[in-house]
Amino acid sequence: MTKEDRVCVGAIAGAFGVKGEARLKSFCSTPEDIATYGPLWLEDGTRSFTVKLTRPVTGGLGARLAGLATKEEVDALKGATLWADRDRLPSLPDDEFYHTDLIGLPVFDAGGVQIGKVRAVQNFGAGDILEIFAPGRKTTLMLPFTRAVVPTVDLKAGRIIADPPEELE
């Protein structure tokens, strides 16, 4: 499978305890669902792990990753992202998107002029924000990912239509 066939669902936050347990950070809307999409792959696709959740822990979920038996093995993968095969994930309603599908899409204003490309999708606690790289700007443009500001996401055509408030332009 290619990277496009996978979606990032979490990351290894480090070891938990000394017996090979990992602390996972889940990016799933229901954090525990991370264990149901397995096997989970490293971003480069070189290794995969089945995940067995063990307990809730501060800042994430305690888990056993098949093939990792020691604290040192888990710590060696600290910060690694975990990717699920897209066909193992649930289908989304028409107005929901996997972040990975938005990154790289060109963003146009209502008049058809390209504003830039989606560099990342951020969430600082008040909802998703599209980080747009716009040529000629000193900083990235941060657009609230709301229906009012981003009325159209067309994955088939590979584009986003935005109506940024004047103060953001």
pLDDT digits (tens, 9 = 90+) for 21-68: 999 998 887 889 999 998 999 999 899 999 999 998 888 899 999 999
Q: What is the pLDDT of residue 36?
A: 93
State the distance between the two ends of the chain, measured CA to CA, in whole angstroms.
Answer: 39
Mean per-residue pLDDT pooled into runs of 10, the chain (169 residues): 75 90 89 91 92 89 93 94 90 80 90 90 83 87 90 90 76
Enumerate domains of the chain plus CATH numbers.
3-88 (2.40.30.60), 99-164 (2.30.30.240)
